[in-house]
Amino acid sequence: MRAPGHTELATTIHTRSRESWGDASPAMLIGQHPVFTAMLDRLARFARSEAPVLITGETGTGKELFARGLYLLSRRNRRPFLRVNCAQYHDGQLMASELFGHRKGSFTGTAGDHVGLFESADGGVVFLDEIAELSLHAQAMLLRVLSEGEIVPIGETASRRVNVRVVAATSGDLSALVPGGRFRLDLYHRLRGLHLQIPPVRERGRDWELIGEYYLDRLAASADGPKRFSPATIEMLGSYDWPGNVRELKGLVDAGFHLSDGEWIEPSHFLESLEQVSRLGQFERMPLVDVGAQLYERMSMGEGDFWAIVHQPFLDRELSRGQVRSVIAHGLDATRGSYKGLLPLFGMRDCDYARFMDFLRHHELKPPRS
């Protein structure tokens, strides 16, 4: 018997995910809206193919979840599923090494041979998250995999055959990167054949409520008892824009569940967790916590440096671009616009300056000038 909001296809994915990975983080695709069920049908059709798949959608829509669903419905579901976030590698050689491997001594810092993800995933699926951040060098090597089914580890001359299906994802527009030379046109065409555009939560009607109930039930299973959104909460959230999509919804459920004492979760239990309010109709906008100010205060009080408190959470997609820009803006207010003056405030060394500025430029994180 299926739970409300879980289609037969989604239930199959969930069952197989538990068989593969256990109950810790099951792959559950929840929704009843026609745009969502049409996307699930498209996913099942793509699962029967061996061609690359490109998954696009706003941040927080669940692109990795769909990638896992594709893998679980495919004939490769008994072989490895390996994921890499391309955004975490700023050095092109390190990125290529992670994906395709290297021989000892092929470049500075290589203490031994390294087997890349594509060789480790032979027979299975490699999920390239944030593929827009892939270096041009690694793009050329990826194109060879897609065209010839071959890899050449760094430092070697002989090619190796691999049998891997590629699933790539991005929250940006790959086609916009082609004219400026940041993304190869031939690679774009190879990836774009099978395309999944994941709809944002705001375009899925009441699916947000079904997703919220699912996360509430998971929290209740490890707590003293169940909790539910009150009628006032449902009415209010029904008008919310969900800029952070499913990821924001999960965070809101976590906050509401732990801040409420009784059975009902009221608006007052989670309002401060909302990053922004765009369409609340007749509801009065309430003051929200400035996440940037909180993170800035933590660093200025010595609780951690920029790399631990801001940089890594951003790469892990726990912080939005807007939140990081807010951190930088608070720091620039204190340094009268000096980026170099941010180093001691953010617990960084002088030698971190070039890396810091490169990070801000690469991800377009500089706050707008007032």
Chunked in runs of 10, what are the mean pLDDT values of the chain (370 residues)? 66 92 84 93 96 94 95 96 85 78 64 81 95 89 92 81 95 89 93 93 93 92 83 86 88 87 84 49 39 80 89 80 84 90 93 92 77
Cβ atoms of 49 and 39 within 8 Å: the answer is: no
pTM for the full predicted model = 0.73
Residue 285: predicted pLDDT? 38
* Rounded Cα distance, 6 and 26, in Å: 13
* Rounded Cα distance, 357 and 342, in Å: 11
Torsion angle of C-alpha atoms 59, 65, 66, 72, degrees rounded to 10 = 160
Residue 283: predicted pLDDT? 38
Continuous H helices in 203-244 = 207-221, 231-237
DSSP element (H, E) containing 346 = none
Residue 287: predicted pLDDT? 36
* Of 341, 369, 337, nearest in space to 356 by CA: 341
Q: Which CATH fold would you assign to the domain 8-199?
A: Rossmann fold (3.40.50)
Q: Do domains 8-199 and 205-273 have the same CATH topology?
A: no
Q: Which CATH architecture has domain 205-273?
A: Orthogonal Bundle (1.10)
Torsion angle of C-alpha atoms 208, 210, 214, 217, degrees rounded to 10 = 110
* Rounded Cα distance, 164 and 99, in Å: 12
356: left (phi over 0), alpha (psi -120 to 50) or beta: alpha
Residue 347: predicted pLDDT? 93
Cβ atoms of 129 and 84 within 8 Å: the answer is: yes
Q: How far is CA 291 from CA 231, 234, 276, 310, in A?
A: 28, 25, 11, 11
* Every domain of the chain and the residues it spans: 8-199, 205-273, 291-362
Residue 273: predicted pLDDT? 62
* Rounded Cα distance, 325 and 366, in Å: 6
Place of tokens 């953010």: 346
Residue 103: predicted pLDDT? 73
Cβ atoms of 224 and 230 within 8 Å: the answer is: no
Cβ atoms of 47 and 68 within 8 Å: the answer is: no
Written in H, E and C, the secondary structure of 318-340 is CCCHHHHHHHHHHHHHHHCCCCC
Question: 145-154 b/e with 16+ CB inside 10 Å = b?
Answer: bbeeeebbbb
Q: How far is CA 169 from CA 38, 43, 59, in A?
A: 19, 14, 11
| Number of helices (H), then strands (E), in the chain | 17, 9
* Of 156, 151, 104, nearest in space to 126 by CA: 151
Residue 108: predicted pLDDT? 57
Cβ contacts of 309 within 8 Å, gap of 6 or more = 295, 298, 299, 303
